[in-house]
Amino acid sequence: MFTIKEFLRTEVKPALGCTEPGAVALAVARAKEELGGPVDSITVTVSDSIYKNGVDVGIPGTEGLRGNSVAAALSAFCGRSSYGLEVLKDCTVDDIESAKAMLGNNAVKIIPDLDRHGVFIEADVRSGDDAAVCRIEGSHTGISEVTLNGRTIFSAEKKPLSGLNSPGRDISAEVARMSFPDLVSLVDTMDGEDIDYVMSGVEMNMTIAEYGFDPSRSTGLDIGKTLRKLGGAAFDSDDLSLRIKAYAAAASDARMAGAPLAVMSSAGSGNHGVTAILPVAVCAQHYGKSREETARAVAFSHLATSYIKSRTGRLTPTCGCTVAAGAGAAAGITYLMTGDPVKAAQAMLVVLGNLVGMVCDGAKNTCALKVGTGALEAYHAALLVMNGHSPEPQGVVGETIEQTVKNLVEVSDKGMANLDKAIIDVINRRFS
């Protein structure tokens, strides 16, 4: 059994930019660190989901450059694996120009392996006669092996030969074996340090939302900014619908466009973190909840999000921002207002009954639309439950949250097995 502290430090972490190209950059950086000279070429083999999610998304600090290949090339010059998913935070203008030159020389290749699903990245980085390979599996920071010229430097199943990596505990796998009540009861064990950590994530995600609201910047589709501008008095009314949707969308607008700001992620995704945190935080602020009450409710949202993601997998054909984090946010808001985990689980059923069929067609500007939808529906689900309504078993919704999530997994695994391939085919036709 893990502690809430262990959960937060592994499942709730800062991420700079979209986590898929971030993980690609991490793999390249870790491989590069085994080489003695400058990088000559990079070949990265990725799963269908990593490929799909990294094709169109902005890379932080590059003023509009997009995609896994840009992340890989940048990492050759400025990537540091010790930063985790903030691997590119030291990026400079010179690094961007060097990366552009490498891309112009066709020295970077991203190869999709459509038979691999979930999180899989294998970066082969070359310098002269030397070749270093880093493999990431299971989670976005889950480095499973590093080799240099065929010799194993690090293996998650063996002791590392250098201090750059150490085998990590798979908290997500442990979450998948827990009941919902046992998991969310961890909020009762939070101490002051945990509260500070959770609130640092609230502040982080509020900051990037304000960046997205800034009228002097253009961020993606400017969804959040437009909703706030056109909402007028409704934005500050007692009905939080518009404010919640606008805040979540503004943060995702900025993140998907490549804003040079980190977000606090949830269950391996920055947009999940935006959805899981901001609706709860906006409600807490509006109703004058204390710092501790806010932190516990946000932590509840993270735990509920992880409950779903631990069972569906890190990357899925369905949109985790709406399905998993939206349900998590509904639970967090309900817990904030009622303190009742049973009602919180009922709110999750409302979201799952509503948004279960929303598909993931890759990370890009329109993700802000989905993040806004997940945030809004989370709030509406909480309102329904607090007013005495919850769905009976029907469709994919079962008697309990446990059964409903099992149903969701079955629909995703059996009914959507070929969805990612179909979406990738559509995406690749743009480049043919």
Residue among 169, 114, 162 at smallest CA distance from 139: 169
Q: Measured between alpha carbons, how far is 69 from 211 in angstroms, rounded to an integer?
A: 26
Half-sphere exposure of 285 (CA within 13 A, CB side): 15
- CA 416 vs. chain centroid, Å, equals 21
Residue among 154, 143, 137, 121 at smallest CA distance from 43: 121
Q: Measured between alpha carbons, how far is 268 from 247 in angstroms, rounded to an integer?
A: 21
Q: Measured between alpha carbons, how far is 67 from 395 in angstroms, rounded to an integer?
A: 37
pLDDT tens for the chain, 432 residues: list them: 899 999 999 999 999 999 999 999 999 999 999 999 999 999 999 999 999 999 999 999 898 899 999 999 999 999 999 999 999 999 999 999 999 999 999 999 999 999 999 999 999 999 999 999 999 999 999 999 999 999 999 998 754 443 334 345 789 999 999 999 999 999 999 999 999 999 999 999 999 999 999 999 999 999 999 999 999 999 999 999 999 999 999 999 999 999 999 999 999 999 999 999 999 999 999 999 999 999 999 999 999 999 999 999 989 999 999 999 999 999 999 999 999 999 999 999 999 999 999 999 999 999 999 999 999 999 999 999 999 999 999 999 999 999 999 999 999 989 998 899 999 999 999 887
* Single-letter residue type at 217: R
DSSP 415: I
Q: Measured between alpha carbons, how far is 360 from 49 in angstroms, rounded to an integer?
A: 9
DSSP 40: -
Phi/psi for 66 (5° steps) reads -135, 150
* 80 contacts 152 by C-beta, under 8 angstroms: no
Residue among 3, 5, 12 at smallest CA distance from 332: 12
How far, CA to CA in Å, does 194 sit from each of 21, 25, 259, 294, 295? 29, 29, 27, 12, 8
* 164 contacts 154 by C-beta, under 8 angstroms: yes
Taken in order of first residue, the domains within the chain and their CATH numbers are: 15-169 (3.30.1330), 174-429 (1.10.4100)
- Is residue 175 within a helix (H) or strand (E), and if so which, with residue range? helix 171-175
Collapsing DSSP states into helix, strand and coil, what is residue 143?
A: strand
* Cβ neighbours of residue 99 closer than 8 Å, sequence gap 6 or more: 70, 73, 74, 76, 77
* 412 contacts 314 by C-beta, under 8 angstroms: no
Q: Measured between alpha carbons, how far is 326 from 377 in angstroms, rounded to an integer?
A: 7
Q: Measured between alpha carbons, how far is 88 from 259 in angstroms, rounded to an integer?
A: 12
Pairing state between β 108-113 and 41-47: parallel
The 10s digit of each residue's pLDDT in 94-149 is 999 999 999 999 999 999 999 999 999 999 999 999 999 999 999 999 999 999 99
Residue among 376, 154, 130 at smallest CA distance from 245: 376
* Cβ neighbours of residue 163 closer than 8 Å, sequence gap 6 or more: none
